[in-house]
Structure 1
Amino acid sequence: MLVIVLTACPVGLRGDLTRWLLEISPGVFVGSVSARVREGLWSRVLGMVHNGRAIMVYSSNNEQHLAFKTFQPDWQAFDCDGVELIKRPLGTDDATMVPVPESGWSNASKYHAARKYGR
């Protein structure tokens, strides 16, 4: 199984990939190809993507049963005791930051506890 995700890439690259893969959503290509074809497709992607971004995820014989390659990603891949993980960079503006939940219990849990212990 092979999945290629393209962002901000030329239209010609998308058309080129549709020869071997199905485009299930704009910029998302899936298919089942041999390792030789997969490496050939990746080299074509690297040659044509220019300023865009590309991620390729494919089946592999490892603990996760998958491997991936990236080109100009915002997120960084790193190895953690034999398992590949993705590290998300910290954003500088508030739009990219994840909101921190307020500390304490939610109103629903307080109501549930009050009913449970009020009996």
Structure 2
Amino acid sequence: MQFFQQMRQQGVSPNKFTFIQVIKACAALRTLEDGRLVHKQLIQTGYESDLFVGSSLVDMYAKCGSIEDAWRVFNKMPSQNVVTWSSMILGHVKCGQGQKARGLFEQMQQEGVELDSVTFLGVLKEIF
């Protein structure tokens, strides 16, 4: 986060790939406040509607235990992918909401989102 802020202070504009990496770092470190700061900066760039950036945000919020923020991003996205759905499902598991996670898993299947084998096994392991 320090290098990201330093980059911004020096007038270097991050691209969407930079934002994704910083968001992933916030998720890995479970630093919700830093993630929210990056999200605010991200909104100003217009990258928020990008599928991969949005998926990273959903994942970060879910991993940091802020399901409400994850839902806000999820619902604003023009479309969702397997990563976004899986992040929401696993976020509910993390927050002790296994029943809601199962419901989301079923909803994801009904909407025709295709799972790869790694995601499928990871989700099943966590919710069943």
Under TM normalisation by the shorter chain, which class is it? 0.3 to 0.5
Asked which structure has the greater RCO (Cα within 8 Å, sep 6+), the reply is 1
TM-score, with length taken from structure 1: 0.36
TM-score normalised to structure 2 length: 0.34
Greater strand percent: which structure?
Answer: 1
Richer in helix (by share): 2
